[in-house]
């Protein structure tokens, strides 16, 4: 199983990847405001690299439930200086977390390798063309609704089957635009238009989302449903537990805030599973 990006073709057969979250926003759900200053963000990127991150996912627009949209100019003001500095100072792959084709194109020109589109190409009709033209890795995520509406009574008849169907449509749209199949990664979108019960159903069936043999990315880090289950405000250790579980279920990329702990969980689990 490989993942093609402009600078590397990554072999994910036996070694998964840790994607470190770097939100340069004032209002993200867990770390909003912590890394809004560019210098602080770049320092955090270097720290995550030292802790073992393979990818740094840089986002300039909060996607927490109820978040308001950010204009293109403001998003670019937030992310481009950070992308340029991180590219100059680290060896990590860089992902741009955006639904805007123009923001993705500018970030790739500044040094990003991957587009992480939570809308699965639905928010901007030009996104697939940007991915095809640049050769960027492309993460396609499932979301019911938008960040502003997604938690308003999400409903499914069969959550796993409906996500599979939606992701197949995303793959078809990407391929039709000229995106290489090997560039695509799929994300079932935990917490994006899902209840606690939906999230658990997805986690039980993680192996169902590797459609067309494409790798799966999972983003559960610090999400509120973890606290609902454990009754604790500390969501780091449930995330670490899910990293190990997801690895066993075949997930190849884990998107996390707490890099060091999740790297250790992933490597330990891989060592046990390796024959």
pLDDT single digits (tens) 224-236? 999 999 999 999 9
Alpha-carbon gap, residue 198 to 150, rounded angstroms: 13
Alpha-carbon gap, residue 57 to 7, rounded angstroms: 16
Compute the average pLDDT of residues 140-162: 88
pLDDT for the residue numbered 38: 87
Alpha-carbon gap, residue 112 to 129, rounded angstroms: 16
The per-residue pLDDT for range 83-132, each reduced to its tens digit, is 999 999 999 999 999 999 999 999 999 999 999 999 999 999 999 999 99
Query: Is it the case that residue 64 has pLDDT exceeding 90?
Result: no
Query: Is it the case that residue 28 has pLDDT exceeding 60?
Result: no
Host H or E run for residue 93: strand 93-97
The per-residue pLDDT for range 167-209, each reduced to its tens digit, is 999 999 999 999 999 999 999 999 999 999 999 999 999 999 9
CATH architecture of 2-269: Alpha-Beta Barrel (3.20)
Query: Is it the case that residue 31 has pLDDT exceeding 60?
Result: no
Compute the average pLDDT of residues 25-48: 77
Query: Is it the case that residue 144 has pLDDT exceeding 80?
Result: yes
Query: Is it the case that residue 54 has pLDDT exceeding 60?
Result: yes
Please identify every residue annotated as catalytic. 223, 255
Alpha-carbon gap, residue 72 to 272, rounded angstroms: 45
Please report how many Cα atoms fall inside a 13 Å half-sphere around the Cα of residue 130, on the Cβ side: 25
């Amino acid at each position: 199983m490989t993942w093609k990006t402009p600078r590397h073709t990554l072999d994910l057969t036996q070694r998964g990847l840790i994607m470190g979250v770097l939100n340069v926003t004032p209002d993200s759900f867990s770390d909003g405001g912590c890394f809004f200053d560019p210098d602080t963000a770049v320092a955090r990127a270097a720290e995550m690299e030292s802790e073992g991150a393979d990818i740094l996912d840089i986002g300039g627009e909060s996607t927490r439930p109820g978040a308001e949209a950010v204009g293109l100019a403001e998003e670019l003001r937030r992310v481009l200086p950070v992308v340029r500095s991180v590219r100059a100072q680290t060896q990590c792959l860089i992902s741009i977390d955006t639904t805007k084709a123009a923001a993705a194109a500018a970030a790739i020109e500044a040094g990003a390798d991957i587009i992480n589109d939570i809308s699965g190409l639905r928010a901007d009709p030009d996104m697939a063309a940007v991915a095809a033209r640049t050769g960027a890795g492309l993460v396609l995520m499932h979301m019911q609704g938008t960040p502003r509406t997604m938690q308003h009574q999400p409903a499914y008849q069969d959550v796993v089957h409906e996500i599979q169907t939606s992701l197949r449509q995303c793959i078809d749209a990407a391929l039709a635009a000229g995106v290489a199949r090997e560039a695509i990664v799929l994300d079932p979108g935990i917490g994006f238009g899902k209840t606690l019960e939906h999230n658990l159903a997805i986690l039980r069936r993680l192996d169902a989302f590797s459609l067309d043999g494409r790798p799966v990315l999972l983003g559960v880090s610090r999400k509120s449903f973890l606290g609902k289950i454990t009754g604790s405000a500390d969501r780091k250790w449930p995330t670490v537990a899910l990293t190990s579980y997801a690895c066993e279920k075949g997930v190849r990329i884990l998107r996390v805030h707490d890099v060091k702990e999740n790297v250790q969980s992933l490597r330990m689990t891989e060592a046990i599973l390796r024959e």
